[in-house]
Structure 1
Amino acid sequence: MKNRTAPPSEPSSTVRRRRVFYIPGYDPIHPRRYRELYRKEGVAQADISGYQIKLIGRQSPGTYGWQVTGRMDGSETEAEFDVLFWSDIVRDSMNLNIVQTYLLMARTAWTYIASGTLGRLMRLRKGPVIAALYPVGMLILQLVLALLLGHILGYVASVFASRVPLTGEGTGFAACQMLTSVTYWAVLCLTVAVLLQWFRKIDNKLYVYYLMHDYAYSARSKGANAPELEARLALFADLIAEALRSDVDEVLVVGHSSGAHLGVSILADLLRDGRLPDDGPALSFLSLGQVIPMVSFLPDAHRLRRDLHELSVQTRIAWVDVTAPGDGCAFALCDPVAVTGVAPETGQRWPLILSAAFTKTLSPARWKELRWRFFRLHFQYLCAFDQPGDYDYFRITAGPLRLRDRYQGRRASASRIETPVSKYTHMAP
């Protein structure tokens, strides 16, 4: 395992103005949730860490965002946030009925199993694989429960139907049998339909349909980006390129969960297209709770594998990847370049792999409270820590240091995973 540290930095300078582009994961909800999360958790972290953060809504048109003023370490920094949302694409992909969802489940499971991807992912971290299998198991369980209850109610209803006296010609044994059978199947089908609809109605508590569509979105095309997503990434790249021509000291791109691999591709496109001005602001990339192997291990993820490789060797963009073993939904401490098998033999610079170490940065009481709230823990990177370490989302986004300067000389986590595992490593279709 290479003893990697953050590459040398340019001369340090105080950040007075920063543009932050936040790329959410697969999320159908309006981006205002991220503003309110930042407002609430920023205040909490400021109280704990002894600095000040003030957030106001942004009045200018364009993408959804807000403005922040941070006063910390003897400096004042202004940060303007933009949420690069693709929630409309997510909602469209989730617009399937129950039967279509079950068919999608079968196709997604087949894609991951038949390609050998599922077994290889389990060699890295079992947590996110279990999270991926959870909706499959729950959908099957829901169907079994619905069928079982439907069978019981259908049987009871058919018994009552068999005792109904029939009159008229042709109302013998055959007619009675037909009435019993029709009653049984009608009640069974109605029960299954009602119960499955009820399960879907309470999915905001179970996250079964949500997670199923999440994992299925990339699996549909075996890791290739859908045309509508490629078009959105090009739009995001234009917005970041415009910010790189503005009067700011740092442009910071933050990719959370599935948004991490979108960030990789956006930044790789900017590099390839020569859209990073030589005299522009520093460009930095912070990936949080990444699930990149879920996509990069798929057969047709050629573009993502090439983007990972190119971003790992360049010198213009500082890339820090933060995960935590306590986050069961992320590939914690897995170097996404190395485990995908596209790291160069020599000269890999990025990402710098760091642990948010939830068991140390959250007090025992707070950790006990959150330990089994898996979905909430997956968002902890965006929240306050009551025993903060050297990772602080609010210092990074609203503080006076560039990302590269903040982690200058910082050693990568000693427990990171760099073993190449993916079966598919080709970077060209």
Structure 2
Amino acid sequence: MDSSIAGSADQQDQAAQVHARRVFYIPGYDPIHPRRYRELYRKEGAAQAAISNYQISLRPQEKFTNAKGGKRPYGWQVSGEIDGQQVESAFSVLVWSDIVRDSMDASIPGTYLQLLHTAWIYISSGTLRRLMRLRKGPVIAALYPVAMLLVQALVAALLFWGVARVWDAGLTQVVGSNPWYAQLPGRGIAVLAAGALLRWFKRMDGKFFAYYLMHDYAFSATSRGENPAELEERIAAFKQEIRAALEAGGIDELLVVGHSSGTHVGVSVLADLIREGLPEHHADIGFLTLGQVVPMVSFLPRATRLRSDLRYLCQRDEIAWVDVSAPGDGCAFALCDPVAVSGVAPESGKRWPLVFSAAFTQTLSPARWAVLRRRFFRLHFQYLCAFDQPGDYDYFRITAGGQTLRQRYRDRKASNSRIDMAVSKYTDVTPE
């Protein structure tokens, strides 16, 4: 396949400027209310507009109903005046944070059992070894919660030992002996102290991210890559929301944005949507994936659904799929073609995704890069933020500007340093 963006000549020749757009944003594994993404867009959009000399503003979303006649998903309206073109974009966040919160509702002992189970699945299946052939950064990120939780357990064990030793020493000094039954109260105090320390570590996880990341990796690993039933139901609901927007018309582009774990959710949503058949006349469909971690799931033994969707979607001309990442993002499988590395690329007919780099070291000034380079989780969200030396990737031009995703990148070449070899041990797919 040509490394430039794929798209039919008719689609490119007939493409018109965008005046109205619907954007569906699919977050990653995030338990936070979607207003976080509105505020991030407001703040960073204003910063990018000032840097790049265009206008962008937000207001509350208009009162529309969703596919079932109920309340529309959380969102906002964006007015953009970019390169002389005025565009109205309606954002909707496709929320699955409630599923994330439920999956994080594990006790401290339950989390340590998750640790053992998740580590066993990734190691015994050979998945961890294969992932290490791609990028070391996300593998280190995956090992981090294991190491941090073990360190926390070790510190708690040392506290238990220290409290018990102090009790025994004091008992000997006071009564001159140390019978076993007299040691029991000291052991009880030691257990309480160690438990209190572990609970403190969990309360402070907003700084450590050990429990959060452990639950993240366990979410897919527990079922060995198969979607939980509640996520399948949510994927079906997302598909209906997007279908309703296409059928309602009145837009020039429908853009789906998947960030981090939201990428593989978006893959399945769009694959299901296209399989069912699209309206005869519909807006151009774009799929923008940012900081993807697809191999963490697609390399697992039972991820046949995801692998099938990747194989299907990469061949469809109904969409334009652009995948953006950066080697500076240690939490993403940067420049790894998610279809190819999963071993499901067809021998011919592969059109997507176009894989290229956001090139943080070039699009962020040296001063800004020096501030952010050690803030790994912040960098994982940089794709949604302003760049002070922007290149050809600008999230706000894409989502509020006058070109479709297909138009914007139709002449863009894929990054030469992308990884597009088959690496996964498991390549079976769900039969069509």
The TM-score bracket by the shorter chain reads: over 0.9
Aligned with residue 271 of structure 1, among 270, 274, 277: 274
Deviation at 1:161, TM superposition (A): 2.3
Give the percent of matched residue pairs that are identical in Structure 1 and Structure 2: 61
Aligned partners of 1:180 and 1:293: how far apart in 2?
55
Deviation at 1:59, TM superposition (A): 4.8
Report whether the alignment pairs 1:311 with 2:313. Answer: yes
Q: Secondary structure at the match of 1:195?
A: helix
Aligned with residue 57 of structure 1, among 60, 67, 70: 60
Deviation at 1:277, TM superposition (A): 1.6
Deviation at 1:185, TM superposition (A): 1.9
Report whether the alignment pairs 1:135 with 2:138. Answer: no
Structure-2 residue corresponding to 1:396 = 398
Structure 1 contact 339–417 (Cα < 8 Å) conserved: yes
Q: Secondary structure at the match of 1:215?
A: helix
Q: Secondary structure at the match of 1:272?
A: helix
The code of the aligned residue for 1:81 comes to: F
TM-score scaled by length of structure 1: 0.96
Q: Secondary structure at the match of 1:338?
A: helix
Deviation at 1:193, TM superposition (A): 0.1
Deviation at 1:7, TM superposition (A): 1.3
Report whether the alignment pairs 1:48 with 2:51. Answer: yes
Cα deviation, 1:180-239, whole Å, max 9, x if unaligned, reads 431342132112101100101110011110000000000011000000000001000000
The code of the aligned residue for 2:115 comes to: M
Q: Which runs of 5+ in 2 are unaligned?
A: 64-70
Deviation at 1:179, TM superposition (A): 3.7
Q: Secondary structure at the match of 1:19?
A: strand
Deviation at 1:154, TM superposition (A): 1.3
Query: After superposition, where does 1:245-394 map in structure 2 within 5 Å?
Result: 245=247, 246-274=249-277, 276-394=278-396
Q: Which has the larger radius of gyration?
A: 1
Report whether the alignment pairs 1:146 with 2:145. Answer: no
Deviation at 1:150, TM superposition (A): 1.5
Aligned partners of 1:165 and 1:361: how far apart in 2?
71
Aligned with residue 29 of structure 1, among 23, 29, 32: 32
TM-score scaled by length of structure 2: 0.95
The code of the aligned residue for 1:25 comes to: G
Cα deviation, 1:151-194, whole Å, max 9, x if unaligned, reads 0121011211234449xxxxxx6xx4124431342132112101
Q: How many residues align?
A: 419
Structure 1 contact 147–188 (Cα < 8 Å) conserved: no
Aligned partners of 1:370 and 1:165: how far apart in 2?
58
Structure-2 residue corresponding to 1:416 = 418
In angstroms, what is the RMSD of aligned CA positions?
Answer: 1.2
Structure-2 residue corresponding to 1:72 = 82
Aligned partners of 1:417 and 1:179: how far apart in 2?
63
Structure 1 contact 3–412 (Cα < 8 Å) conserved: no
Structure 2 contact 62–77 (Cα < 8 Å) conserved: no
Structure-2 residue corresponding to 1:115 = 125
Q: Which runs of 5+ in 1 are unaligned?
A: 167-172
Aligned partners of 2:36 and 2:411: how far apart in 1?
35
The code of the aligned residue for 1:26 comes to: Y
Deviation at 1:302, TM superposition (A): 0.2
The code of the aligned residue for 2:98 comes to: D
Cα distance change of structure 1 residues 3 and 248 upon mapping to structure 2, 3 Å threshold: closer
Q: Secondary structure at the match of 2:89?
A: strand
Structure 1 contact 305–426 (Cα < 8 Å) conserved: yes
The code of the aligned residue for 2:318 comes to: R
Aligned partners of 1:278 and 1:143: how far apart in 2?
59
Q: Secondary structure at the match of 1:108?
A: helix
Aligned partners of 1:126 and 1:118: how far apart in 2?
11
Aligned partners of 1:381 and 1:85: how far apart in 2?
19
